[in-house]
Amino acid sequence: MIGVCVVFTVYIAVIPLGFLLWQSFRTPQTADVPAIFTLENYIAAYGTADTLRLFWTSIRFAFGASVFAFTLGTVLAWMNERTNTPFKSVFYALSLIPLVIPSILFTVSWILLASPQIGIINLVLQGWLGLETAPFDIYSLGGMIWVDGLHYSPMAFLLMTAAFRAMDPSLEESATMSGANIFQVAWRVTLRLTWPAVVATILILFVRAIESFEVPALLGLPVGIEVFTSAIYQAVHRYPSRVGLASAYAVALLLITTIGVYSVSRLSSRGSKYATMTGKGFRPRQIDLGPWRWFTAAIFIVYFALIVLLPFAVLLWSSFQRFYAVPSMEALQNLTLDPYRFVFSYPNLGRTVWNSVLLSFGSATIVMLVTSVICWIVVKTKIRGRWILDNIASLPIVFPGLVLGLSIMVFYLNVDIGVYGTIWIMYIAYITRFMPYGLRYNTTSMLQIHQELEESAAMSGASWGTTFRRIILPLLKPGLLAGWIYVMIVSIRELSTSILLYSPDTQVISIVIWELWENGQYVELSALGVLFILALFVLVMVAQLIGRQYGVKEQRA
Amino acid sequence: MLNVAGLFTEYPNPQGEVVKAAQDVTFTVEEGHLFTLLGPSGCGKTTTLRSIAGLERPKAGEISVNGRVVYSSAKGVFIAPNRRGFGMVFQSYAIWPHMNVFQNTAFPLEVGDRHFSRTQIRDNVMRVLAAVQLDHLADREATMLSGGQQQRLALARALVMEPALLLLDEPLSNLDAKLREKMRFELKRLQRELKITTVYVTHDQSEALALSHQIAVMNEGRIQQIGKPRDVYERPANRFVADFVGNTNFIEGTLHAIGPGFHLTVRTEIGDIKISTDLPVSAGDRVTMSVRPEDVALSDTRPQGENVWEGRVEQKVFLGEAIDFRVTVGPRELLSRQHPALRTPVGGPIFVQLDPEKCVLLKVV
Ligand SMILES: Nc1ncnc2c1ncn2[C@@H]1O[C@H](COP(=O)(O)OP(=O)(O)OP(=O)(O)O)[C@@H](O)[C@H]1O
Ligand SMILES: [Mg+2]
């Protein structure tokens, strides 16, 4: 059993990486010319000034999006944790909603809101202010940063909330007593003390932004702004496809993310330097903002409008149109259910939904079971070299979704064991991609199971298998369930890995949305998107309800 | 100097009920005095202190320092804590780990309303650091300090801006026993030298007795008694104070006769006890007396005077500098603290005498 898990992990996490590297040194294989060793891909990828531009754009985009998301998330977290802004407990719950909305839908809805031609915000502002040209252009680097940063600000919000909560409030109170005002306390004490968390959060956001595919593809490609992910996609999707070139790009991207992830892990292992100096501090005092608290409440409301209400409203609007039209009295008369009819009569709808459900449930289950064994080996046994296993299983975290898709594609194109083009290749991709998350959930709960609980089972005569099944798994259950829910949700939204691996038979919902976008079927896309978001929302609610019954605590990867 | 009048502070607890943390707290601290809030855990000492600091907003009452009102529910005044100019030492010390000793101490001078030049800051900081004997560690990382040094740094930081009022929340409770004794003397010396008005919170009665000019004993949000350390110890106002501040014997009885000059007789289960009091009482009242163990005199031979009984030694506990006896007198057991020179064996007969002046009649609540 242990052996099987180890082999499985190594197979799934290491081999694609090897093949990616290998492929990046090969020429394209055709029917009569076999592939040979070459450096040409690298020369093509890195030999031109274009690459420098690509690199520079990627960095600017990722940096901008991460800093924007961080600033937004931190200000909100601070307001939520440290001030007496009204309704903030409601806000904490609401802030999680945007994480449920798939990136592609969020991006599409912002196109509908702020594109220069049809963007509602632009048209409204032009009407009000009598402007000649649209004030906002979503198809720009700034637009990309805005959409991506906005969408991932809740992640910064959650991470920084945790950091603020972990801090001894008397450190801030003593600054107040020293005569410092709100801003001096926030700047000179709060922010400095959460510095390790600040850097880690920005790095995580940066890595995530540089992996981001939907936003650069939808907003950047139409106007020729390319980043690594969209360049990889372009290289694969041109004819003839240049997998070697894509691989060479992917290697660079992989390098960046690896450095990022490595720095984060270094940082969090060192981050405890300040943690030793906390007192009993159990009552974070809330700063009384006086009348300003209505202002901060207004910020919350505007933020919520930008991130949930407006995007959803515009999708909803467009989903009741025959052809996309900007809201107006006239358009109001043309409301129709056609897009929904279209969605429900979509030839492969049943199949697609079924694929999505099967994939997300299946990979969540396998991920959680396999990682629980890995985790047990790493945390509980004394097997030598077990840390290698831990690192291998965490390896996929550095893979951007698109790169992972690419390497798996390359591997199974070359090693024909009959999974290419089937749903199994999607399974493999999802499991690989989400294994690190499962691992993290399991490690957290595994660390809390005391060694003696197992030993006493062994003393009672239980075999290893029985102990694992009867003692460890039940104790892990809350953690397993929380992780399962998380993996299920991220898999059902998954797009960037699937996009290189799907075939007509193995389409999933997010792929259909992508295709509708490519075909310009905006209203149909909106209808499907609305249904998808609602379904995801219900799913999360149900999952939380079930989770609460099984004692799942608030926990995040 | 500091005036606190009718202070009420409440918290909503997670169930939505109100926790009445401070109830009708009223006291005055004179210029240069050290005033202690003493009481068991959860009695509202920290709450009171934080209300004075402005970190907590009271529900009602008035707080003023040197005639300057910093909080008043009636006048609708609430000065923000950073504008009150009080120094505060937190129980956890709250030393900022990202600054060194010097930077920690300099912070209040950098952020306050008054502006100081660099040399002024340097001079002031080094002066207080010298006062707490940390000047040689000015460049040390704050994380590298020992418990006692952290405590002194926290004190230096609170003192550097020459606050009108110094607030200390259990500043010694995180130290080990030996160091605590030492810092107790340090703190007292510093406070007496600088003559800085101080409010001190502790649950340790010996600390309170050793340091204070005045002590307020609190229980369940209310002040039970305010007085000099000696008064609080020797003339506790009620059963709670007598019990909380030191050990004591409680003896219940009925007031029997009132003689001339406040001399009374109380009929108790061990017999009639003659006492004196200035409380207004009348014959027939049920009363409780408190007698400290060191005021329960023991001897092998029958002593002269009043309030003498014969008892039997039940148990002895040798403490080094003293010896504790448990003695039965009739149906009662009394605790007595004696010099170790008294060597009556367990089971042996012994004479017990109570000094009428030391039998404190407690207020009937
Ligand atoms: N922020 C708060 N929210 C709710 N209840 C609180 C809060 N702070 C204090 N309390 C409650 O108010 C009461 C008084 O608390 P306080 O901290 O003043 O006690 P204390 O005398 O300082 O105790 P200790 O010696 O343990 O520090 C307690 O019952 C406590 O549980
Ligand atoms: Mg306290």
Report the alpha-carbon distance of residue B109 to residue A175 in Å, rounded. Answer: 11
Which of A62-66, A225-229, A473-477, B160-164 tops mean pLDDT? Answer: A62-66
CB B4, CB B60: distance < 8 Å: no
Nearest CA to CA, how far is B78 from chain A (Å)? 11
SS3 A144: helix
- Which residue of B96, B109, B110 to mutate against A (max A Cβ within 10 Å)? B96
Q: Whose CA is nearest to atom 30 of ligand 1?
A: B42
SS3 B12: strand
B82 vs A170, A180, A195: nearest CB: A180
Q: Which chain B residue lies closest to A171 (C-alpha atoms)? A: B94
Same domain, yes or no: B283 and B209: no
Region of poorest pLDDT, from A43-47, A80-84, A509-513, B21-25: A43-47
pLDDT in tens, A462-499: 777 777 777 777 778 878 888 888 888 889 888 888 88
pLDDT at residue A93 greater than cutoff 80: no
Instruction: Quote the ligand 2 centre to B213 CA distance (angstroms).
Output: 21
CATH classification at residue B298: 2.40.50.100
Q: Which of residues 145-204 of A touch B (CB under 8 A)?
A: 168, 170-171, 173-181, 184, 188-189, 192-193, 195
Same domain, yes or no: B254 and B107: no
Instruction: Quote the ligand 1 centre to B9 CA distance (angstroms).
Output: 11
pLDDT band at A269 (very low <50, low <70, confident <90, very high): low
pLDDT in tens, A408-447: 888 888 777 777 888 888 998 999 889 888 888 888 777 7
SS3 content of chain B, % helix, strand, coil (to 5): 25, 35, 35
Q: Whose CA is nearest to atom 3 of ligand 1?
A: B11
- Of B200, B228, B244, which marks where a domain is finished? B244
Q: Which residues of A touch B113 (CB under 8 A)?
A: 179
Of A519, A485, A515, whose CA–CA distance to A503 is shortest? A515
List the B308-318 sheet strands across, edge first: B296-299, B349-354, B308-318, B323-329, B332-338
- Token pair of A242 as six digits: 């240049």
- Token pair of B321 as six digits: 């500098």
The count of structural domains within chain B is 2
Per-residue pLDDT, averaged over A183-198, amounts to: 87
pLDDT in tens, B87-110: 999 888 888 888 899 999 999 898
Of A361, A325, A344, A334, whose CA–CA distance to A488 is shortest? A361
Task: List the domain boundaries for chain A.
Answer: 1-38+339-552, 48-273+288-313
Residue B22: enclosing H or E segment and its boundaries? strand B18-29
The DSSP symbol for A26 reads: B
Nearest CA to CA, how far is B352 from chain A (Å)? 47
Same domain, yes or no: B161 and B82: yes
What's the pLDDT score for residue A277? 39
Q: Which residues pair with B100 in a beta bridge?
A: B141
CATH classification at residue B25: 3.40.50.300
What's the pLDDT score for residue A29? 60
Same domain, yes or no: B240 and B288: no
Smallest-distance ligand from the CA of B47: 1
pLDDT in tens, A144-176: 999 999 999 998 998 888 888 877 888 888 898
- Of B202, B227, B244, which marks where a domain is finished? B244
Same domain, yes or no: B302 and B238: no
Per-residue pLDDT, averaged over B203-225, amounts to: 93
Per-residue pLDDT, averaged over A174-179, amounts to: 90
What's the pLDDT score for residue A284? 60
Same domain, yes or no: B121 and B155: yes
Region of poorest pLDDT, from A60-74, A159-173, B140-154, B348-362: A159-173
Which of A247-251, A286-290, A453-457, B135-139 tops mean pLDDT? Answer: B135-139
What's the pLDDT score for residue B125? 94
CATH class of A48-273+288-313: mainly alpha
Give the angle subtended at the CA of A108 by the CAs of A541 and A133, to the nearest 5°: 140
End-to-end CA distance of chain A: 27
Question: Alpha helices of A166-194 — where are they, by DSSP H?
Answer: 170-177, 182-185, 191-193
Instruction: Quote the ligand 2 centre to B249 CA distance (angstroms).
Output: 29
Instruction: Quote the ligand 1 centre to B37 CA distance (angstroms).
Output: 14
What's the pLDDT score for residue A329? 74
pLDDT at residue A550 greater than cutoff 60: yes
Q: Whose CA is nearest to atom 12 of ligand 1?
A: B21
Q: Which chain A residue lies closest to B167 (C-alpha atoms)? A: A177
Question: Using the beta-carbon criterion (under 8 Å), do A280 and B82 form an inter-chain contact?
Answer: no
Give the pairing type, strands B2-12 and B18-29.
Answer: antiparallel
Which of A233-247, A294-308, A455-469 tops mean pLDDT? Answer: A294-308
Note the ipTM here: 0.78
pLDDT at residue A526 greater than cutoff 70: yes
Q: Which of residues 62-121 of B touch A (CB under 8 A)?
A: 81-83, 85-88, 90-98, 107-108, 111-113
- Token pair of A118 as six digits: 């049809």
Report the alpha-carbon distance of residue A553 to residue A494 in Å, rounded. Answer: 25
Same domain, yes or no: B332 and B190: no
Residue with tokens 């995040």: A556
Per-residue pLDDT, averaged over A89-103, amounts to: 81
Q: Which residues of B touch A175 (CB under 8 A)?
A: 96, 107, 111
CB A178, CB B125: distance < 8 Å: no
pLDDT in tens, A336-382: 888 888 888 888 788 889 999 999 999 999 999 888 888 888 887 77
Report the alpha-carbon distance of residue A433 to residue A422 in Å, rounded. Answer: 18
Question: Using the beta-carbon criterion (under 8 Å), do A170 and B90 form an inter-chain contact?
Answer: yes
Report the alpha-carbon distance of residue A376 to residue A367 in Å, rounded. Answer: 14
Cα torsion A423, A428, A430, A433 to 10°: value is: -160
Q: How far is CA B131 from the centre of its chain?
A: 25
Question: Using the beta-carbon criterion (under 8 Å), do A176 and B82 form an inter-chain contact?
Answer: yes
The DSSP symbol for A499 reads: G
Instruction: Indicate the top mutation candidate among B8, B10, B11 to test ligand 1's pocket, ranked by most ligand atoms within 8 A of CB.
Output: B11
Is the CATH number 1.10.10.10 carried by domain A1-38+339-552? no
Chain B CB within 8 Å of residue A291 CB: no
* Residue B266, domain extent: 249-364
Report the alpha-carbon distance of residue A230 to residue A219 in Å, rounded. Answer: 10
Per-residue pLDDT, averaged over A398-417, amounts to: 83
Chain B CB within 8 Å of residue A278 CB: yes
pLDDT in tens, B315-351: 999 988 899 999 999 888 999 999 998 888 999 999 9
- Spell out the residues 6+ positions from residue B18 whose beta carbon is closer than 8 angstroms to its own: B10, B11, B12
Q: Which residues pair with A174 in a beta bridge?
A: none
Q: Which residues of B touch A187 (CB under 8 A)?
A: none
- Token pair of B341 as six digits: 């020179």
Same domain, yes or no: B314 and B176: no
Report the alpha-carbon distance of residue A538 to residue B161 in Å, rounded. Answer: 57
Q: Which chain A residue lies closest to B163 (C-alpha atoms)? A: A178
What size, in residues, is chain A? 557
Average pLDDT, chain B: 89
Give one DSSP letter per residue of B256-298, joined into a string.
EEE-STTEEEEEETTEEEEEE--S---TT-EEEEEE-GGGEEE
pLDDT band at A557 (very low <50, low <70, confident <90, very high): very low
Of B185, B194, B187, B245, whose CA–CA distance to B216 is shortest? B245
What's the pLDDT score for residue B274? 87
Q: Which residues pair with B270 in a beta bridge?
A: none
Of A40 and B294, more confident: B294
- Of B192, B227, B244, which marks where a domain is finished? B244
CA B188, B190, B192, B197 torsion: positive or negative? negative
Pocket of ligand 1 (CB under 6 A): A 283; B 11, 13, 19, 21, 39, 41-47, 203
Same domain, yes or no: B167 and B56: yes
Report the alpha-carbon distance of residue B75 to residue B55 in Å, rounded. Answer: 19
Report the alpha-carbon distance of residue A134 to residue A114 in Å, rounded. Answer: 9
CB A194, CB A164: distance < 8 Å: yes
Return the exposure string of A474-507: e unless at least 16 CB atoms fall within 10 Å of the residue's CB, then b: ebbebbbbbbbbbbbbbbbbbbbbbbbbbeeebb
Chain A CB within 8 Å of residue B139 CB: no
- Spell out the residues 6+ positions from residue A436 whose beta carbon is closer than 8 angstroms to its own: A393, A394, A395, A396, A397
- Spell out the residues 6+ positions from residue A403 whose beta carbon is closer than 8 angstroms to its own: A20, A232, A250, A253, A254
What's the pLDDT score for residue A401? 87
Instruction: Quote the ligand 1 centre to A167 CA distance (angstroms).
Output: 19
What's the pLDDT score for residue A276? 37
Nearest CA to CA, how far is A277 from chain B (Å)? 7
Of A537, A80, A521, A67, whose CA–CA distance to A308 is shortest? A537
Q: What are the C-alpha distances in Å from B213 to residues B29, B151, B168, B241, B292?
A: 9, 22, 15, 17, 22
CA atoms within 13 A on the CB side of B8: 9
Which of A81-90, A138-147, A446-455, B303-312 tops mean pLDDT? Answer: A138-147
Atom in ligand 1 nearest the alpha carbon of residue B39: 21
What's the pLDDT score for residue B219? 94
